[in-house]
Every structure is written in C-alpha cells, then in structure tokens.
A and B are shown apart, each in its own frame.
Chain A
Amino acid sequence: DAKTTQPNSMESNEEEPVHLPCNHSTISGTDYIHWYRQLPSQGPEYVIHGLTSNVNNRMASLAIAEDRKSSTLILHRATLRDAAVYYCILTPGNQFYFGTGTSLTVIP
C-alpha cells in the first residue's frame, strides 16, 4: 500500500493559517500527492495535487519536501467552511489510497 500518515485531528482559529502535515516516507518517484477534503455528509472534494514542486491554487497551497517524504497543505486563512476531514493521498499508478485523514476543527 502507498501509505500516508496524518494526525487524527487539528484545531485552528478562524482567519488564521493552517498547516496540515502528511508523511509519506514510502513514496516512489512517480507517485503524485493529492489532497481531498470531505465536509460533513458530503462526498470528498478535490483540493490540490502535485508531484515535486510546490503548488498553489485558489483553495490552498501544497508544499512538498525536497525528498518528497512529506508534504504540507496550507490553508491561508481558515474559515468555518473549511471544517472538514482532509485526506493526503498517494496515487501509485491509477489507485487511490485515502487513509483516515485529519479532522480539522475551526474555532470562531
């Protein structure tokens, strides 16, 4: 399995940045790193993905370590709507291994 390790839960204050870590020490050279999130009672939704370089989009930034064995999802200003479970996923080939994710609580 392409395994990732994430903290079970994290808290953040509203309007502050959030750094969600992920370890993936067994990553291989062709594995992409994806982040999805799942809001309560909904299906997962895409956040961001990358291979080697840091990536930015309108939702978040993805910082990938130089050795690619860890990555960090950065939400620049957490809102109450960002409260969700965040999954860090490796994709060896065409398979997706979601794991159990990090439950993010945003405190008003």
Chain B
Amino acid sequence: EAQVTQNPRYLITVTGKKLTVTCSQNMNHEYMSWYRQDPGLGLRQIYYSMNVEVTDKGDVPEGYKVSRKEKRNFPLILESPSPNQTSLYFCASSSPRAEQFFGPGTRLTVL
C-alpha cells in the first residue's frame, strides 16, 4: 500500500531534550516536506526536500533541522525543543508538481 508513515504518533518530552520524528514513504517520491499545524494558524511549511541531499527552508524553519540521506526518509530533528514547538506535525511526499500525500501526523508536546 502506498503510504507515508511517521513515528512516533504521539510524543511528550521536556525542554531541551533532543528528539527526532521519522518520516518514510514507499512511493519513490523525490519531493518531501514537513509542516506544523497550530490552532488558528493553519499548516505552515518547515522544510522541504527536492531530492537526496537537497533541502530548503520553508516558512518556519527556526529550531528545526532535517536531513535527506535516502530518498525514502526525511527525518525532522529538534535539537533543543522548546514549549513553542508543541504542535501537530505532518510529513508529506510527492512527485514534482504533483499531489502531496500526507502522513497521519505526530502530536508533540514539549513541557
């Protein structure tokens, strides 16, 4: 089944404790992207990647890192999480200029 998977689905952590949210797709898509969704602000793009070893900042990249060492994986790294990064995170993938497929979301709480 074609899908985008994210892990973990739920995470509660404390300020400053490094964490990684994984994202994997099995559709051989070149384009992958991370978004955060907050009440009243809609979805905002954090980072995106056009292909392996190619990443670019989206609208709200501060406090996040990404890497794209393999085509199928695009992990989101929070090196020193803060409470303002409490949010619902979505990973997505697509072929260039085509429809994006979204993962189920990761709900992160930073205390």
Contacts and interface: CB of A to CB of B under 8 A. Distances in A.
A100 B59 contact: no
Q: How large is the interface on B (under 10, 10 to 19, 20 to 34, 35 or more residues)?
A: 20 to 34
Contacts of A95: 45, 48, 56, 58-59
A101 B42 contact: yes
Contact of B45 (A42, A45, A96, A101): A96
Q: Which 8 A-B pairs have the closest CB atoms?
A: A43-B102, A46-B99, A98-B43, A100-B42, A98-B42, A99-B42, A44-B102, A43-B90
A43 B103 contact: yes
B74 interface: no
B2 interface: no
Contacts of B103: 43
Contacts, number: 52
A44 B100 CA distance: 9
B43 A87 contact: yes
Interface in A33-69: 36, 42-46, 49
Contacts of B101: 46
A22 to B, nearest CB: 13
28 contacts: A32-B97, A42-B104, A42-B105, A43-B90, A43-B92, A43-B102, A43-B105, A46-B99, A87-B42, A87-B43, A91-B97, A94-B48, A94-B50, A94-B56, A94-B96, A95-B45, A95-B48, A95-B56, A96-B33, A96-B35, A96-B45, A96-B100, A97-B45, A98-B35, A98-B42, A98-B45, A100-B41, A100-B42
- Which applies to chain B's interface (DSSP): helix, strand, loop or mixed? strand
Contacts of B105: 42-43
Given A45-B102, A95-B59, A100 B40 contact: yes
B44 A98 contact: yes
A1 B42 CA distance: 14
Contacts of B59: 1, 95, 97
A30 to B, nearest CB: 11
Contacts of A87: 42-43
